[in-house]
Amino acid sequence: MAKTQWTYWADYDCSELAKVPLKDRQEVWTDWLQERVRRFVLEPLRKIKGDLIQPPDDSSALLIFSVSLLCAVEAMGKYLKGSNTSGNRVRFEAFVTSYMHEDYNLKSINGDKYVTLLWKHFRNGIAHGFAIAKGKFEQNNDEPYFVESRDAADHAVLSLNWDKLFDDFEEACNRYFKDVRSADTTGTILSNFTSVFEDVIVKRN
């Protein structure tokens, strides 16, 4: 099909995206969403973490950086699992365990896997209360991604290097889009992607 000059804003592009022939949708729709995520999620987050999280004044963008990133994980999980999957937690954890660091699924604290802690204490704590419930973010390029420690109340908690969390998410997105782009046309991953894309981006439901 002829190359379209996309804006990567759904309200401007939805009518042209609807016209993409069925045989071209896997490539065109995947390319469109990957570029949208790059432009409007990854690059803004990269700028925030580069300049605004540790500025030379009394303000920090770490809260808005982390809530945006963790909600983006959840959004990617919707494309992975499809609209019919019940529960945002299921979508969130599916994307993390399928595409992000293997320790999220392999390691645990007090019986809760790291992915559960990421959902319960980080994502939910920040999204619903402006604070991590248990655990904390750290940032030092020489520090590991995950650190288990004890808080002031002597609870075992997970600390995350937020810089490495961003890198992990970016790499996970790239792996996911690669899988969608190469997926069998009858496979679940492509079926879920196209159904969510059509509903959210094309029909804008």
CA distances from 138 to 28, 39, 43, 66, 122 (A): 38, 26, 21, 12, 13
Q: CB neighbours of 71 closer than 8 A, spacing ≥ 6?
A: 123, 127
Q: CB neighbours of 80 closer than 8 A, spacing ≥ 6?
A: 91, 94, 95, 98, 99, 176, 189, 192, 193
Q: CB neighbours of 2 closer than 8 A, spacing ≥ 6?
A: none
User: Which one, of 107, 110, 130, 134, lies nearest residue 120 by Cα?
Assistant: 134
DSSP secondary structure letter of residue 198: I
In the chain, what is the greatest distance between 2 CA atoms, to the nearest angstrom? Answer: 62
Q: What is the pLDDT along the chain (205 residues), one digit of tens a residue?
A: 556 799 999 999 999 999 999 999 999 999 999 999 999 999 999 999 988 887 667 888 999 999 999 999 999 999 999 988 779 999 999 999 999 999 999 999 999 999 999 999 999 999 999 999 999 998 766 789 999 988 888 889 999 999 999 999 999 999 999 999 999 999 999 999 999 999 999 999 8
